[in-house]
Structure formats: C-alpha cells, structure tokens
C-alpha cells in the first residue's frame, strides 16, 4: 500500500509531514505478511547485519550484533515531557515538551536520507479488542519492522480496524544514521552516539518520539513506550490499568480455572514464573502473558486482562532448561537473537545456558572467545542483556485464551521482590487499600555488585513500574486506590505479596523456587475462594504451617522460618518506608497510604 492510499486522513497527513521532515529515499506501508518479514530479514543479511543460524538446529532463526553503545534501555535519556514538571514526578526524567520537540525536530531533519521509511500500523492486544490500542510507528530500521512483526499485530488488518478516523498513538523512530550517496551500513549496526539518543513521551498529546537507538524498548515503541508509559496515562484518564505484569492461567486438579497477574522488579524470576512448570501433582499452569497486562472492568464488575503483546522479548543469559524449559522450547525456531554468542556450527550460546561453551565461539562483539573457567575476570561471550524475540504462539504452555479479545477475568494480583530477610514466602493483603500499600513498597535488596548503592539497602520499585509509569507515581497510587473505590470488593482481585528469595543464616536460599512455586500458587488459588489454612497477623494473612505442602529438602523448621512474622524486621521496614520512600512523592502521596502505614505500625506494637 502507498501512503496516498491510506484512508485515515490524520494518519496520511502525519506520515506525509514526517516524510518531508526526515527525507527518506522511499516510503513503505507495512502489510504484516510473512513475505514482508522474510524480506526485512533478507535486507539485513545483505547488509551484513544479520547472520542466519544453522537451519538444522535453529530453523528460521537469525543473529544480530548491536553497537556496544546500543545494548539496553537508556533510562538516562528517557523522558516524560508533560506540560508540567510536577505531573512527571520525581521518578521520571522531565523536559519541557516544546523545547524537547524543537531539539528532536532538528535531529529528525534529513535523518532518513539514504534509507526507507517504514510505516508500521500495529495493535497492542488482539485486533479489534475493546481493551486494545493502535499505534503507528515510523522507522528507518528493517530490524525494528521484523521485531514488531513478532511483538505486535502488524499490518493491513490493523488499518482496517483503525478506519478513517480511529485513535492511534503516533510513534516516530529513527536510528539517527543517515546515509550519504552510495553509502551503506557495511555490517555496522546503525545508531547515533549516546548523547544524541532520546526516547521521549508526550503524555498530553499521546506521542512517542525516539531517536538514535535501534535496540529493544528504545526502538520497539509498542513495548514499554506505548504499552506502559503512554498506556498508563490513558488508563488513568479512562479508568483502567496498564501494568508491568505477567498473566497466568492456573487449573487445579478438579479442573477449576483462575487467572492471576504478577508484578516483579527485574531479576526476580518474572519470566520464569510466567512459564512455570508445576511440580505439584494435578496442577496445570499456562501462560497468557509474560510482561504486560492491560485490564478493564467487564459488565460483571470483574477486571479482565489482555496481554497487549504478541511475542516474548526475553533476556537470554540465565535462561536454561532448569530455569525455564518452556522458554527454551519457544526459542528453537523463528526467533531473532541479539547479542548472544554463536558456536562453530552456527548455534547460539550464552552464560548459564546449562552447558559449557562448545569450542571456539564468536562473542557478541564479533571476536573469537574460548571459555576459561579459571579466569573469573573473563568477559562474557553474550551480553548480559542479550535478547531473544520469539512468537508467543510457539510457547508450549501458551493458554488457548491468550488472544481472547474479551480478556481473562483476574482473581489475584501478586507483588514480589528479592528479599533475603523479613518478607515472608507469601502474605495476603487484608483488603484493597492494604494491597495497594503492599504494591507501593515493593523492592529488592541491593547486593554488593551494585556499586552505586550501599549493600543491604532496599531499592524500591513500586508495582515494578518505577521506570515505566508515564506520570507522577503519587498520582499513580491514587489511581490504584480509585480503581477499588465503590466497587464490590468480592469481585476485585485479591492481592498477595510473595518472596521466593528468603535466605538462612548461612546465606542459602530456603525455598527452592522455580516449579516448586506452584505450591504457593495453589494456596493463593484456594484463598481466592476463601479456602486454605490461614492465620491473621499484623502484616496480613499468612498460611498456617501445614497449608502449603513442603517440597523435598524444606523442613518444618524452614517453613516456620519463611512464614514467620519478623516483628523487629517489619518495624525497620516501616521506618524505612516512612523515612526514605514515601517522602519522595511529596504531597501527592495519598493520605490513605500513610494511614495504612500507621495502622501496620500500631498492629506491630501489639
């Protein structure tokens, strides 16, 4: 399709204006076809940017190596450009929208010279769902087009739903590397230097402008940019929830089904939980989504969730058959790998894949690499943030409802962090407000590996949304409180706090985690129906010692330890929240959360 054939006059005008500004050699409107995806991959192979992997081992898979300056989200260059700085809040980088647009417009002038502008119409969520939203991304990167094919629903079918006057989120993206006459990339990943990278969000006008990076969430603008930062603003204004949450389908031995969501900061086992293989006999866990949940109230007063994405954009290192067999099965074919190592027979390898490196590898920088286990300072073969992009439909555990346009009814929310002490294995909130309080204090203990923060301190990541909330987090907490106000609480999801990471005095994990977490999920499942052994405590409702069946290697004493209410530890927790966490949000911190803090403190004093 040509730009002149676009039926949506606003979209057509916007694309034409961008074309005038960015001066690409040609413009293509993406149709979302398999032929188009294959063509993008071929373009990048021809440019020396993509390496085809061994078709006998990884059919339909390709490998990319990015520039060393372009390997992850650039949070320091990510902006929430609301009209008022106060609306962005203390946890976001703010720039004046008029000034930022002027700076970026200057960068965009002629930025696509020598390249093709691809117009990518995409739906976040099943096409036509009343929970879904449409975005249109303009990009000069075939890598982005191919990844967006996997991560969203792309093409003509989206334009059909958009019609002649539908709402869409306009998304500018350029790698920021125009080409001179006859110039080519010649195998060098195109991007701009760090100081010229911008990932900008304009909440009031619902726009995303990205420049200079070709990698991940900086460039795949449906992911964190639309699905969380802009969607969180839309959700606030329209009365729904856009959350950094996995979605699970759980079936008990009787065949009863419940759906739960979970929010966890990075390095807390979120993807592993999303594709969990239960060890508890008779229980079944299936995946609806691994990263993001959009939830709206249905006619029955319950919250219904969709996974707005169509693929998995997962971190490779640490993914193996023990930690996540379903992910390993998912990425055996039709997958885009970025910044992993390649073996002599053109297979992939990364640290903690479950076996030693097979011979001489080519590392993510394109250099020869031989594993030396005696050298603790050896640089990794795969970048620590190396990724796989794979269709969710390939996951062996994908639930049949994962693309249901109505969404799935949510029975429980889980919040969790990596906490070696104090926080019990599982704790149920007393009510909705108490649950919002629990979500607002989520955090993980900082290890000695983090040089910028004292080891043992808690790095708070409320609702696991700190880098992704598109407005002031104090107002975000208020929105969560408002969602529950005046509602029938029996229809709202129950809220739980989980912690798989408790350690004993010797520094060893007490709970084995992974598939054994199904034992905790079983208790949560029962609690949603008011069943399961439970005891009221000052911090919430905990399981009775016999309510969770113990896995092998976990003693009665261990269970008592991880289900114990550490009164002194909790007093310190409350003190830290009151002194160091809540004050960050100033007068926008809802008074209800301070009241909750006071109430828990009073209960702890007995």
From 340, 373, 394, give the residue that closes a domain: 394
- Is 35 among the domain residues? no
The rounded distance, in Å, linking the Cα atoms of 197 and 455 is 31
Torsion sign, CA atoms 311, 316, 319, 321 = positive
pLDDT band, residue 451 (cuts 50/70/90): very low
Residues 103 and 166 in one domain: yes
- Is 68 among the domain residues? no
Residues 118 and 178 in one domain: yes
Residues 421 and 361 in one domain: no
The rounded distance, in Å, linking the Cα atoms of 398 and 417 is 25
Residue 8 neighbours by CB distance under 10 Å: 18
Residues 287 and 371 in one domain: no
Residues 371 and 413 in one domain: no
Determine what percent of the chain falls in helix, strand and coil, rounding each to the nearest 5: 30, 20, 45
pLDDT at residue 436, as a whole number? 98
pLDDT at residue 449, as a whole number? 43
pLDDT digits (tens, 9 = 90+) for 457-501: 889 999 999 999 999 999 999 999 999 999 999 999 999 999 999
Q: Name 64's Cβ contacts closer than 8 Å, sequence gap at least 6.
A: 44, 49, 50, 51, 143, 189, 336, 337, 338, 339
Name the 3-class secondary structure at 211: strand
pLDDT at residue 529 is higher than 70: yes
- Is 219 among the domain residues? yes
Residues 26 and 123 in one domain: yes
Residues 184 and 207 in one domain: yes
pLDDT at residue 450, as a whole number? 41
- Is 604 among the domain residues? no
Closest C-alpha among 578, 579, 584, 582 to residue 598: 578
pLDDT at residue 269 is higher than 90: no
pLDDT at residue 335, as a whole number? 98
Rounded mean pLDDT, 392-416: 98
Q: Kindly report the pTM of this predicted structure.
A: 0.97
Residue numbers of the domain that contains 281:
243-307+402-566
- Is 41 among the domain residues? no
pLDDT band, residue 454 (cuts 50/70/90): low
Whole-number mean pLDDT of the chain?
A: 96
Rounded mean pLDDT, 242-262: 98
415-485-202 Cα angle (round to 5): 70
User: Residue 45 to residues 189, 305, 426: CA-CA distances in angstroms?
Assistant: 12, 38, 49
Residues 303 and 323 in one domain: no
Q: Which are the catalytic amino acids? A: 268
Rounded mean pLDDT, 148-153: 98
Number of domains in the chain: 3
264-563-506 Cα angle (round to 5): 85
CATH classification of the domain holding 268? 3.90.228.20
Q: Name 138's Cβ contacts closer than 8 Å, sequence gap at least 6.
A: 15, 18, 22, 117, 118, 119, 120, 171, 172, 173
Q: Name 254's Cβ contacts closer than 8 Å, sequence gap at least 6.
A: none
Q: Is 102 left (phi over 0), alpha (psi -120 to 50) or beta?
A: alpha
Rounded mean pLDDT, 489-514: 96
pLDDT band, residue 445 (cuts 50/70/90): confident
The rounded distance, in Å, linking the Cα atoms of 579 and 474 is 16
pLDDT band, residue 266 (cuts 50/70/90): confident
**DSSP-derived secondary structure letter, 397:** T
Name the 3-class secondary structure at 293: strand
pLDDT digits (tens, 9 = 90+) for 42-95: 999 999 999 999 999 999 999 999 999 999 988 899 999 999 999 999 999 999
Residue 208 phi/psi, 5° resolution?
-125, 125
CB 267 within 8 A of CB 285: no
CATH classification of the domain holding 327? 2.170.8.10
- Is 61 among the domain residues? no
pLDDT at residue 219 is higher than 80: yes
* 474 CB-contact burial (10 Å; exposed 0-12 / middle 13-18 / buried 19+): buried
CATH classification of the domain holding 131? 3.40.449.10
pLDDT at residue 198 is higher than 90: yes
Residues 228 and 277 in one domain: no
CB 218 within 8 A of CB 66: no
From 375, 394, 413, give the residue that closes a domain: 394
pLDDT at residue 447, as a whole number? 57
In percent, the amount of the chain with pLDDT more than 70 equals 98
48: its two tokens? 């020396």
From 372, 394, 416, give the residue that closes a domain: 394
pLDDT band, residue 1 (cuts 50/70/90): confident
pLDDT digits (tens, 9 = 90+) for 311-352: 999 999 999 999 999 999 999 999 999 999 999 999 999 999
């Amino acid at each position: 399709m040509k730009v002149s054939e676009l039926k949506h006059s606003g979209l057509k005008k916007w694309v034409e204006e961008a074309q005038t500004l960015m001066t690409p050699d040609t413009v293509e409107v993406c149709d979302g076809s398999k032929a188009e995806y294959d063509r993008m991959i071929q373009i990048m192979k021809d440019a020396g940017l993509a390496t085809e992997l061994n078709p006998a081992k990884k059919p339909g898979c390709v490998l990319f190596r990015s520039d060393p300056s372009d390997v992850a989200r650039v949070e320091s260059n990510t902006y929430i450009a609301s009209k008022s700085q106060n609306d962005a809040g203390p946890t976001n980088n703010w720039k004046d929208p008029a000034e930022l647009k002027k700076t970026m417009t200057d960068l965009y002038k002629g930025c696509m010279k020598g390249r093709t502008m691809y117009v990518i119409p995409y739906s976040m969520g099943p096409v036509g769902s009343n929970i879904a939203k449409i975005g249109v991304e303009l990009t000069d990167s075939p890598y982005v087009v191919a990844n967006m094919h996997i991560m969203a629903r792309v093409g003509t079918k989206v334009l059909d739903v958009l019609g002649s006057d539908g709402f869409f989120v306009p998304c500018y993206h350029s790698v920021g590397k125009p080409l001179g006459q006859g110039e080519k990339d010649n195998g060098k990943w195109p991007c701009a230097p760090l100081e010229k990278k911008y990932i900008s969000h304009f909440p009031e006008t619902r726009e995303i402008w990205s420049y200079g990076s070709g990698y991940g969430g900086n460039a795949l603008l449906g992911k964190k940019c639309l699905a969380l930062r802009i969607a969180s603003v839309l959700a606030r204004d329209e009365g729904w929830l856009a959350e950094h949450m996995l979605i699970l389908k759980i079936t008990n031995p009787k065949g009863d089904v419940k759906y739960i969501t979970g929010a966890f900061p990075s390095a807390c086992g979120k993807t592993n939980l999303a594709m969990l293989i239960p060890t508890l006999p008779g229980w079944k866990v299936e995946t609806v989504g691994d990263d993001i949940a959009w939830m709206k109230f249905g006619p029955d007063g319950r919250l219904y969730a969709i996974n707005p994405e169509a693929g998995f954009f997962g971190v490779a290192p640490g993914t193996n058959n023990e930690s996540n067999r379903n992910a390993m099965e998912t990425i055996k074919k039709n997958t885009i790998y970025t910044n992993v190592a390649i073996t002599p027979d053109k297979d992939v390898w990364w640290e903690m894949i479950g076996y030693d490196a097979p011979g001489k590898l080519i590392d993510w920088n394109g250099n020869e690499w031989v594993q030396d286990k005696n050298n603790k300072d050896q640089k990794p073969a795969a970048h620590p943030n190396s990724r796989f992009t794979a269709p969710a439909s390939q996951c062996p555990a994908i639930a049949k409802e994962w693309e249901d346009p109505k969404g799935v009814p949510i029975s429980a929310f889980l919040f969790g962090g990596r906490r070696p002490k104090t926080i019990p294995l599982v704790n149920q909130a007393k009510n909705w407000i108490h649950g919002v309080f629990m979500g607002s204090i989520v955090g993980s203990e900082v290890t000695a590996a983090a040089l910028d923060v004292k080891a043992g301190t808690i790095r708070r990541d409320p609702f696991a949304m700190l880098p992704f909330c598109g407005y002031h987090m104090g107002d975000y907490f208020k929105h969560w409180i408002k969602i529950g106000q005046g509602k029938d609480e029996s229809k709202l999801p129950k809220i739980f706090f989980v912690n798989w990471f408790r350690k004993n005095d010797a520094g060893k994990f007490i709970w084995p985690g992974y598939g054994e977490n199904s034992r905790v999920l079983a208790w949560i499942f029962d609690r949603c129906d008011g069943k399961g052994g439970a005891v009221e405590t000052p911090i919430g409702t905990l399981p009775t010692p016999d309510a969770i069946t113990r896995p092998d290697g976990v003693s009665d004493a261990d269970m008592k330890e991880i289900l114990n209410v550490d009164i002194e530890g909790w007093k310190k927790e409350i003190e830290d929240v009151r002194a160091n966490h809540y004050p960050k949000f100033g007068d926008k911190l809802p008074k209800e959360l301070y009241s909750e803090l006071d109430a828990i403190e009073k209960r702890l004093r007995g």
